Amino acid sequence: MRSATITRKTGETDIAVEINLDGTGAYTVSTGIGFLDHMIEQLSRHSLIDIDLKVDGDLHVDQHHTTEDSALALGEAVAKALGDKAGIRRYGSAYSPMDETLSRVALDISGRPFLVWKSGFSQERLGEMDTELIQHWFHSFAQSAGITLHIETLYGENNHHICESLFKGLARALRDAGEIDPRKGGAIPSTKGTLG
């Protein structure tokens, strides 16, 4: 199975994460930020990646380090579990509707991290989470996972729906891109012979 365990300890956060790319979408998530937990649970359930994530962060300061480092650790685990990326589909995309909201997420497991962000929020918080940190979570995840990630909210009004559609879109696109394509016969999906 394609799995990975990452531990990350700094003066700001103490993180342990285990993932299984070929799981069933089982999760145990505890970041200390309820709304972030909810979003990472959506990522797990809809990507079918098993995620066990525990974060002890300096929430007495603010939510920045916990949000950023959870994404860095999770992205690092995804990159490690993918290994040399042999046989994967590499590309994935998803339209993600949630009630009045529609978002589009496209990604390339390229080894070249990049984020294009065309979304936003009209309120400062979702639950207790600062909405300005949501873009930063996606940026940090893309960086450490080594993916090119394009995110766009096509339309929507409810901030919770907008955010949830982005995480679900990432989940579905990541599931497609990370799956093994039996027609590739284990080949690395690049004419260069390597990704990165």
Q: Give CA–CA dist 145/109, Å, rounded.
A: 8
Residues 116, 12: Cα–Cα separation, whole Å: 27
What phi and psi, each to the nearest 5 degrees, are found at residue 105? Answer: -130, 130
What number does CATH give the domain 3-184?
Answer: 3.30.230.40
Per-residue pLDDT tens digits for 27-76: 999 999 999 999 999 999 999 999 999 999 999 999 999 999 999 999 99
Q: Which sequence spans correspond to the domains of the chain?
A: 3-184
Spatial separation of the C-alpha atoms in residues 192 and 196, rounded to whole Å: 10
Under-70 pLDDT residues of the chain: none
Instruction: Supply the pLDDT for residue 109.
Output: 97
